[in-house]
Amino acid sequence: MLVQALKDQGVDTVFGYPGGAVLPIYDEIFQQNDVRHVLVRHEQGAVHAAEGYARSTGKPGVVLVTSGPGATNAVTGLTDALMDSIPIVVFTGQVPTFMIGSDAFQEADTVGITRPCTKHNWLVKDTNTLSGVIHEAFHVATSGRPGPVLVDIPKDVQFATGTYTKPSPTASHYQPRVKGDLEEITELVAAMEKAKRPVFYTGGGVINSGPAASQLLRELVDATGFPITSTLMGLGAYPASGKNWLGMLGMHGLYEANLAMHDCDLLINIGARFDDRITGRIDAFSPKSTKAHIDIDPSSINKVIKTDIPIVGDVAHVLEDMLKVWKSRGRKTNAEAVAKWHMKINDWRKVDCLAFTAGDKTIKPQQALARLEALTKGRDRYITTEVGQHQMWAAQYLTFEDPNRWMTSGGLGTMGYGFPASIGVQMAHPESLVINVAGEASWLMNMQEMGTAVQYRLPVKQFILNNERLGMVRQWQELLHGERYSHSWSEALPDFVKLAEAFGAKGIICKDPADLDDAIMEMIDHDGPVIFDCLVEKHENCFPMIPSGKAHNEMLLGEAETQGVIQAGGAVLV
C-alpha cells in the first residue's frame, strides 16, 4: 500500500536503510520496479540526500528508515530541512501497536522526538487510514512554507490489509493562503514608484515558490531597474550575470550588497526571513528604509524586523499581481534617482571586496574556487556545500544563473550535509556535473556515503578545500578569542587519495597552484566519483565579514594591505 501511494504521488526515488520494523515495506519494494530505492550508509545521509534531491528538482524528497536508531539518526536531517524549508517525507518503521510503550526492542517515541523538528508528523495506528495519511503528508510537506514531515508506521499496520484511497487535493483542511492582499500590493507598488534608493532582498522563498517565481522576479527586476541582492538560500533566483545583481548579502556578503541594504530607502524582502546573519545589529539594520515583506508564512513577518508593508502570500502569485498593478499604473519609477543610486552602488563595487592575491606556492581557497568557477561555468552544473569557510567562499566565488542549482545548509549549518546532498542531486540529474565544495572536517562527518556513490556509480565530485583546520571556528577564535585555537585543528587526517581508492573511486591531490587547472579538469573528465584533496592556505580568513553584533556599515574587508584598496594595516570599519 505504501508503494502504491508513493507511485500515486509521483515518487521515483526513495533514500533509505532497512531494519526489522520496516521489513514488510522493503518486501514490497523488492517486488516492483517503479520506485527506485537508494541504499545509503547512514540514515542522516538518507535525509540529506533527499534534501538535495528535493532542492534540485522542486519535488519532495522521500526517505524510508527503520524504528529506534533509524529514526533518531534521521533527526539532524529533519531539523536541517525544517530550518531551510525543504519538503521531505520521511517514513519510519515502529514496533507493533500492541507493543508501543513497553520499551520494546528498537522502540523510540519517534513522533515525540521529531515533533519539534518536523512541520507535522503522524503515527498511523489503522491500516485503513494509512493511504490517506500518506497523501496528506505529501500535501503538508509541499504546501505553504515547505518542510519535512514524518509518518511513523507500526509493523502490524504494515502487515495488515486495508482499503486504499487515491490522493485528492481537497481532502485537507490545511490550505495556506497563496494570493497576496491587493491593497497591500498596491501600497508596495506606490512605494516603488517613488523610491529613490530601492533594493530587492530576496531569499529561499523564491526558490521554494518554483521556477515561475524566478521568472517573474527577473521580469520585475529588469523592468524596474532596481538593484537586487539575495541571501545564501536564494542564490540563482536572479542570475549572477544580470545587470542589477549585487551579489549575496549578510555576514559574509558583498560590500556593495550590504551597504545598499544599509542606505536604501525602500527594502523589498521577497521570501527571506531577516535571519541574524543578514541583519547584524537589529537596531542599526537598514535604518532609513520603508520595509516591505512578502512571505507565505505569517510568522516570518515582524518576527525580527518591523515591517511597514506586510504581504502574506506565495512569491509567484504576489509577483504576478505586483507586475500587473505596476504595469496598469503606467510602469512608473523614479528613474533619475534610481540611476544615481546605481552610481553610488558602482562606487562601492569599485572597492572590489572579493579581490585576493593568488598564491604562487600555496593555493588560496578563493583561487581554487575561482578556477573551479572558470572551468565549470556554463556547464550543466549543480553545487552542494558542507559548512564553514569553504561554504562562504563558494557562495562568493561561484555564480548561479538559475534556481535549484545551489544546495547548502543555511539555517542549521549542518556539517556533513554536502556529500549526501550531492548524491541526492546526482540521482535526480544523472547526466549533470555535481560538485560538493567541502572542508575536510565537514566532509569526514558523512564520508561513509562513498559506499553509496560507488555502488550507484554516481560521478559526484568531492572538491575538498583542505586547510587542516576547522577553518570557520579557527577564524572566530582568531577574531574573538585572542588566537587561542582550542581544538580547531583537523588532526590525523586520512590520505584522501588512498581513501578514495579504498572505496574503488578516484582520488586526486593538488597542492601546487600551477597544477590546479589540470587537476580540476582531470576531476571533471573522470567518469565516476572523485575525491579532490586540494591543499590550501591554512590560515586564510573569509572576508568580507560583519562581526556578529555589528551593523552593515561596520564590515571588515580583510587583510587589506594585500589588496591595496584601503590603507595598509588592516580591516576597515567603514
Ligand X SMILES: Cc1cc2nc3c(=O)[nH]c(=O)nc-3n(C[C@H](O)[C@H](O)[C@H](O)COP(=O)(O)OP(=O)(O)OC[C@H]3O[C@@H](n4cnc5c(N)ncnc54)[C@H](O)[C@@H]3O)c2cc1C
Ligand Y SMILES: Cc1ncc(C[n+]2csc(CCOP(=O)(O)OP(=O)(O)O)c2C)c(N)n1
Residue with cell 530576496: 202
Question: How many residues form the binding site for ligand X (CB under 6 A)?
Answer: 37
Closest CA to 44 of 11, 78, 91: 78
Active-site option among 4, 28, 99, 106? 106
Interacting positions 440-459 with ligand Y (CB under 6 A): 440-442
Site mask, ligand X, residues 8-47, x = CB under 6 A? Answer: ----------------------------------------
Distance CA 94, CA 108 (A): 8
Residue 552 and residue 258 in contact, taking contact as beta carbons nearer than 8 Å: yes
Least Å from the CB of residue 276 to ligand X = 8
Distance CA 264, CA 341 (A): 9
Contact range with ligand Y by CB under 6 A, out of 370-378, 411-419, 500-508, 558-566: 411-419
Active site residue 491: no
- Residue 464's binding partner, choosing from ligand X, another protein, ligand Y, none, with beta-carbon cut-off 5 to 8 A by kind? none
Told to check if 232 binds ligand Y by CB under 6 A, we report no
Active-site option among 1, 9, 15, 43? 43
Closest CA to 177 of 316, 294, 312: 312
- Residue 529's binding partner, choosing from another protein, ligand Y, ligand X, none, with beta-carbon cut-off 5 to 8 A by kind? none
User: Would you say the C-alpha torsion 197, 201, 207, 210 has a positive or negative sign?
Assistant: negative
Interacting positions 366-395 with ligand Y (CB under 6 A): 386-390
Told to check if 470 binds ligand Y by CB under 6 A, we report yes
Taking the alpha carbons at both ends of the chain, their separation in whole angstroms is: 62
Distance CA 437, CA 421 (A): 11
Is the CB of 152 or the CB of 440 nearer to ligand X? 440
Distance CA 394, CA 75 (A): 27
Convert 20-67 into a string of H (helix), E (strand) and C (coil): HHHHHHHHHHHCCCCCEEEECCCHHHHHHHHHHHHHHHCCCEEEEECC
- Residue 414's binding partner, choosing from another protein, ligand Y, ligand X, none, with beta-carbon cut-off 5 to 8 A by kind? ligand Y
Q: What are φ and ψ of residue 439, in 5° steps? A: -100, 150
Active site residue 155: yes
Name which position in 58, 242, 359, 413 contacts ligand Y (CB under 6 A).
Answer: 413
Least Å from the CB of residue 48 to ligand X = 14
DSSP secondary structure, 497-563, as one string: HHHHHHTT-EEEEE--GGGHHHHHHHHHHSSS-EEEEEEB-TT----SB--TT--GGG-B--SGGGT
Is the CB of 152 or the CB of 263 nearer to another protein? 152
**Degrees to nearest 5, angle at CA 527 with 524 and 530:** 65
**Degrees to nearest 5, angle at CA 564 with 559 and 565:** 90
Site mask, ligand X, residues 133-152, x = CB under 6 A? Answer: ------------x-------
Active-site option among 155, 291, 364, 461? 155
Site mask, ligand X, residues 193-232, x = CB under 6 A? Answer: ----------xxx--xx---------------------xx
Interacting positions 266-305 with ligand X (CB under 6 A): 271-273, 275, 277-278, 295-297, 300
- Residue 84's binding partner, choosing from ligand Y, ligand X, another protein, none, with beta-carbon cut-off 5 to 8 A by kind? ligand X
- Residue 442's binding partner, choosing from ligand Y, another protein, ligand X, none, with beta-carbon cut-off 5 to 8 A by kind? ligand Y
Told to check if 180 binds ligand X by CB under 6 A, we report no
- Residue 327's binding partner, choosing from another protein, ligand Y, ligand X, none, with beta-carbon cut-off 5 to 8 A by kind? none
- Residue 441's binding partner, choosing from ligand X, another protein, ligand Y, none, with beta-carbon cut-off 5 to 8 A by kind? ligand Y
Q: Which residues bind another protein (CB under 8 A)?
A: 111-112, 115-116, 119-120, 123, 140, 145, 173-174, 251, 276-277, 279-283, 297-299, 301-306, 478-483, 547-550, 556, 559-561, 569-573
Active site residue 43: yes
Active site residue 99: no
Is the CB of 294 or the CB of 450 nearer to ligand X? 294
Convert 93-143 into a string of H (helix), E (strand) and C (coil): EECCHHHCCCCCCCCCCHHHHHHHHCCEEEECCCHHHHHHHHHHHHHHHHC
Active site residue 105: yes
Active-site option among 105, 166, 288, 521? 105
Closest CA to 216 of 104, 313, 129, 302: 313
Q: What are φ and ψ of residue 433, in 5° steps? A: -85, 115
Cα 377 from chain centre: 20
| Secondary structure class of 75 (helix, strand, coil) | helix
What ranges make up the beta strands (E) of 176-307? 198-202, 228-230, 245-248, 266-270, 290-295
Contact residues: ligand Y, CB under 6 A: 386-390, 413-415, 439-442, 465, 467, 469-473
**Residues belonging to the active site:** 43, 105-106, 155, 472
Q: Point out which residues bind ligand X (CB under 6 A).
A: 84-85, 145, 203-205, 208-209, 231-234, 248-253, 271-273, 275, 277-278, 295-297, 300, 314-315, 387, 391-392, 410-411, 413, 472
